[in-house]
Amino acid sequence: MSRSERKWDHIRFALENRQNRSTVFDDIQFIHQSLPNSNVSDVRLNGSIGGLSLSSPIFINAMTGGGGEKTYQINQQLAIAAAQTGVAMAVGSQMSAIKDKHERYTYEVVRKENPDGIIIANLGSEANSENAKLAIDMIEANALQIHLNVIQELTMPEGDRNFTSSLNRIEEICSHVNVPVIVKEVGFGMSRETVEALFSAGAAIVDVGGSGGTNFAEIENKRRNQSLPFFNNWGIPTPISILEGSSVSKGIPIIGSGGFSSSIDIAKGLAIGASAIGLAGLFLQTLVEEGLDALIQKINTLHMELTMIMTALGAKSIAELKKAPVIISGETYHWLTQRGIDTKPYSQRTIK
């Protein structure tokens, strides 16, 4: 099977692989504020993360490219939606276009449709610094996303089996490119130890990519003659990954992704430590099933609802939202307790 055919397989199976929103989002509860002393008109969603200035904490996370005309059309429409709503956008892995220049147009369209927006390039951890520079130049990227997908590769019939020296290559890329480097998991979460290692290697931002969204183990198992079912339930749930990453004392900026399906999930992710939230599956489903206008409306609605939630909490900015008091219970509380992460400060903090 060619790389471009595999790319379309991933999109096709991702559309069938419905979001499996992690129930641990329900373990995070805001403490109601009867006197928030706030006004909707005072709320601002803009902010910065790792050297990037964002007009919204919501962005379109990596999905596709390199699969011919169908992936070109998806990236084109995603880029139009990003331009019209002011959100950042990451493309899918560009290695296919580095190996086959005929696939470059499926990525280059993103910058053509969104000339002034924040665009994020994407490569796997097998890439080197020369690959990274090519990917960045291809779409005039503002940042580079390096994705970690060990479980997907192990489950993929034609996937990689050697993961040695990944951290060394990431460190090399970080020292040779002139844009912020984001290191992203693809749906299996990151531990505190992984986040610390990436920060030491020079990563500017970490996208914890927790379990609960599109399940790439299930997708790859559908492509196998003999399934590896033990990987289908593998990983660290997204809220737990955000909290693990946020517990790193040096404070590397965190992106939350994996299973976000509503404005309240987004607000919770930001409140527990993320500075931005990436969505892929929800946006892809909306685009394919309902069209571009519906996707634009979806993003605008999420912005409106997030503004309402922040008003209810008395948070005028994303920085203030990260001070909103929350109660952490259930599986998340148990996990964090076992890991030596104290949850009490989250319930006793205040915006005022």
Q: Which residues pair with residue 276 across a beta bridge?
A: 255
Q: Which of 336, 299, 236 is nearest to 89 (CA)?
A: 299
With cut-offs at 50, 70 and 90, classify the pLDDT of residue 227: very high
Helix-then-strand count for the chain, H and E? 16, 12
Residue 221 scores a pLDDT above 80 = yes
Average pLDDT (99-120) is 97
Residue 133 scores a pLDDT above 70 = yes
Residue, of 352 and 234, whose pLDDT is higher: 234
Domain that holds residue 112: 3-348
Residue 345 scores a pLDDT above 80 = yes
Residue 7 scores a pLDDT above 80 = no
Average pLDDT (171-195) is 97
Residue 84 scores a pLDDT above 90 = yes
Contact assessment for residue 48 and residue 348, using Cβ atoms and an 8 Å cutoff? no
Average pLDDT (2-26) is 58
pLDDT in tens, 272-285: 999 999 999 899 99
Average pLDDT (285-302) is 97
Structure tokens at 197: 């290692």
User: How far from the centroid of its chain's Cα atoms is residue 237's Cα?
Assistant: 13
Average pLDDT (75-103) is 97
CA distance 138 to 110: 10
Predicted confidence at residue 301, as pLDDT, reads 98
Residue 10 scores a pLDDT above 90 = no
Residue 216 scores a pLDDT above 90 = no
CATH code, 131: 3.20.20.70
CA distance 55 to 260: 19
Residue 67 scores a pLDDT above 80 = yes
Average pLDDT (102-126) is 97
Residue, of 14 and 299, whose pLDDT is higher: 299
User: How far from the centroid of its chain's Cα atoms is residue 34's Cα?
Assistant: 33
Predicted confidence at residue 251, as pLDDT, reads 80
pLDDT in tens, 20-66: 555 679 999 999 999 999 999 999 999 999 999 999 999 999 999 88
* Number of domains composing the chain: 1
The whole-model pTM stands at 0.93
The three-state DSSP-derived secondary structure of 245-288 is HHCCCCCCCEEEECCCCCHHHHHHHHHCCCCEEEECHHHHHHHH
Average pLDDT (194-222) is 91
Contact assessment for residue 59 and residue 96, using Cβ atoms and an 8 Å cutoff? no
Residue 76 scores a pLDDT above 90 = yes
CA distance 11 to 123: 17
Residue 254 scores a pLDDT above 60 = yes
